[in-house]
Copies of this chain bind each other. A is one copy, B any other.
């Protein structure tokens, strides 16, 4: 019984840990958005990055079929969106709010780049806190009053001569950095390499002795076809060694290269060749 209890406890701790870095702790807040297409684009970007909690502060046109069209499969995010009249209400329950800002402000504020913003999101979420990423109007951004309700400002380091990103594009960049930080925090890879049977063979590197057999075979073949003069070899073989040596050749690739040499030799000798079927 004691053993059973201990197991239960450890399981619950593991679960709590998992919840601690949940992307559910991150909400995206769009303030006074003009174009419903941008709301849809933002929803799609969020879902692509594994986020789901969308807050809309006084949107000009929502719900909207244009938002659904641009969401392209992320309509569930739109359906679950919380529409509120003020930023204050959108931030209820949040410990940290980050406001995106393209402009220089009179009052300097703690400023993060998107990567730092992703890290802070994960730090906070790891402590069970909720974080809001706040995005302003398409043309005017956030007001000073709104920016001062945010604990941090986030600036996407854009081209100073053309600095204003499309709203959905800005949501994409920040949520991408949240996901990158989340993957790092939860020990998940940022890329998936699927290996199958043939690729296992493919991935297995050739050994030095196999490479030497190949060089010998290659050299003989080059002699056979009249490309290499054994009496005046010049730097041909060292150059080929350098090329293949740095290529990280796999066993499968070696088989292919050796096959080519064998068939070349046969062809030179006038023997019938067999075509490779793959």
Q: What is the size, in residues, of chain A's interface with B at 8 Å between Cβ atoms?
A: 50
The reply on A190 being an interface residue by CB < 8 A is yes
Tell me whether A183 and B166 are in contact (CB under 8 A).
Answer: no
Tell me whether B113 and A191 are in contact (CB under 8 A).
Answer: yes
Of the candidates B115, B156, B169, the one whose C-beta lies within 8 Å of that of A168 is B169
> Which of chain B's residues have a CB closer than 8 A to the CB of A8?
none
Tell me whether B191 and A179 are in contact (CB under 8 A).
Answer: no
> Which of chain B's residues have a CB closer than 8 A to the CB of A193?
108, 111
8 A Cβ contacts from A104-131 to B: 104-108, 111-115
The reply on A22 being an interface residue by CB < 8 A is no
8 A Cβ contacts from A24-63 to B: 41, 44-45, 47-50
Given contacts A166-B72, A173-B176, A179-B157, contact A191 B111 (CB under 8 A): yes
Tell me whether B115 and A166 are in contact (CB under 8 A).
Answer: no
Tell me whether B115 and A190 are in contact (CB under 8 A).
Answer: yes
10 more contacts with CB within 8 A, not counting A104-B192, A114-B176, A172-B172, are: A49-B159, A73-B162, A104-B194, A108-B193, A108-B203, A111-B191, A111-B193, A158-B179, A165-B172, A172-B173
